[in-house]
Amino acid sequence: MTKINVITNKNTFTIKHGSFQSDVMSGLSGLKKTLPCRWLYDNLGSELFEEITRVPEYYPTRTETIILQTYIREIADFAGRNAILVEYGAGAGIKTETLIAALQSLALDCYIPVDIAGEFLEETASRIQGKFPHLSIKPVVSDFMTDFALPPNLLGTRRVAFFPGSTIGNLSPKQAGDFLRRMRNHVGPEGAAIIGFDLKKDVETMISAYDDKAGITSKFNLNLLTRINRELEGNFELSRFKHSARWNEEESAIEMHIVSLEEQIATVGMFNFHFRAGETIHTESSRKYDVKGFEMLANANGWKMDHIWRDSDNKFGIAGLR
């Protein structure tokens, strides 16, 4: 792993490249301040995200579940008999249960949940095992954004990648392309993929999904400053910042920002970071696709769009790729 040596007037110390500390140091030092969205998910952040999925304005989770339930027979037919289901970023695996239940009747062979959070993954695996005792479950603890191998001895059976939740929207176009190609390598030429993505729609609906009236998304975003204060000895005063959700037309993305309400200096460890009034830290992009755009992304990275399932209001799409 690459390391960055930081020299101060007293000491030299080492920061691991890709760590929270290194991302905060470099992200707050740039001309435009930015932090990778994966750091939003400490324990409280993960709980707040679960809460977001239940607020009335946040339509993606609810809509995707309705689509899965409505078209589950078709989706199961698409996956085919004796499939091995690989779920990337399995998390709580709630949607997977709906899918596995349908795939069971088509004789699903094996379920491989992949997640970086080992403990969470064990819980998900054992809960699903309890419900489907005859299903073979092989959890893989890994960051799905890096190269990793699936368990061996899976040859000869059809593999289906599952990536629900519009998590693909949180990846940059380059990351999404790399990820789609990794999926293709994992499932092989005979494999398939089922991917949930959020559809572009009127700006007001999208913005309010990321700026709910109850203020849960605001708490979720600002919790990043609390995390910096706790883990990196920061002194951010939360009352001097606010959450903001913005539409970026060029990127076709809703962006979350943390806005500095005044000119100020915040300290992280022994470093000072200056904020102008109104200056922001960009903490997340959530890309919204139209069907054509998603198809082009898939085509450019080794896939063909075979099916698209949508809700009646055209809010969300589930793509079946081959």
Interface contacts to ligand AVI, rule CB under 6 A: 52, 60, 165-167, 169-170, 210, 217, 284, 286
Q: Which is nearer to ligand AVI, 170 or 223 (CB)?
A: 170
Q: How far is the CB of 86 from ligand AVI (least distance, A)?
A: 19
User: For residues 284 and 311, which CB has a smaller minimum distance to ligand AVI in the complex?
Assistant: 284
Nearer Cβ to ligand AVI, position 165 or 320? 165
Tokens of 170: 């949180």
Q: Minimum Å distance from CB 167 to ligand AVI?
A: 5
| CA atoms of 192 and 178, how far apart (whole Å) | 16
Helix (H) or strand (E) holding 258: strand 253-260
Min dist. Cβ of residue 35 to ligand AVI (A):
13
User: Hey, what amino acid is at 53?
Assistant: T
| Residue 26 structure tokens | 């470099």
Burial of residue 264, with CB atoms counted within 10 A of its CB: 0-12 exposed, 13-18 middle, 19 or more buried? middle
Whole-angstrom distance, CA of residue 267 vs CA of residue 273? 6
Closest separation in Å from C-beta 241 to ligand AVI: 17
Give me the least distance between CB of 165 and ligand AVI, in Å please. 5
Between CA 320 and CA 197 the distance in angstroms is 11
Q: What is the distance between the alpha carbons of residues 176 and 294, in angstroms, rounded to a whole number?
A: 11
Give 60 or 93: the residue with its C-beta nearer to ligand AVI. 60
| 138 vs 200, beta carbon nearer ligand AVI | 200
Smallest distance, ligand AVI to C-beta of residue 177, A:
18
Buried-exposed string 89-112: b where 16+ CB fall within 10 A, e elsewhere: bbbebbbbeebbebbeeeebbbbb
- Provide the pairing of β-strand 316-321 with 305-310: antiparallel
**Residue number with CB closer to ligand AVI (179 or 273):** 179
Residue nearest to ligand AVI (CB): 286
Structure tokens at 306: 């075979």
Query: Nearest distance from residue 274's CB to ligand AVI, in Å?
Result: 27
The secondary element (H helix, E strand) that includes residue 80 is none
Q: How far is the CB of 186 from ligand AVI (least distance, A)?
A: 21
- Euclidean distance between CA atoms 305 and 319, whole angstroms: 7
Our CB check for ligand AVI shows the closer of 87 and 284 to be: 284
Closest to ligand AVI by CB, 159 or 315: 315
Q: Rounded distance, CA 120 to CA 103, Å?
A: 23
State residue 167 phi and psi, 5-degree precision: -60, -25
On whether the CB atoms of residues 88 and 185 are closer than 8 A, the answer is no
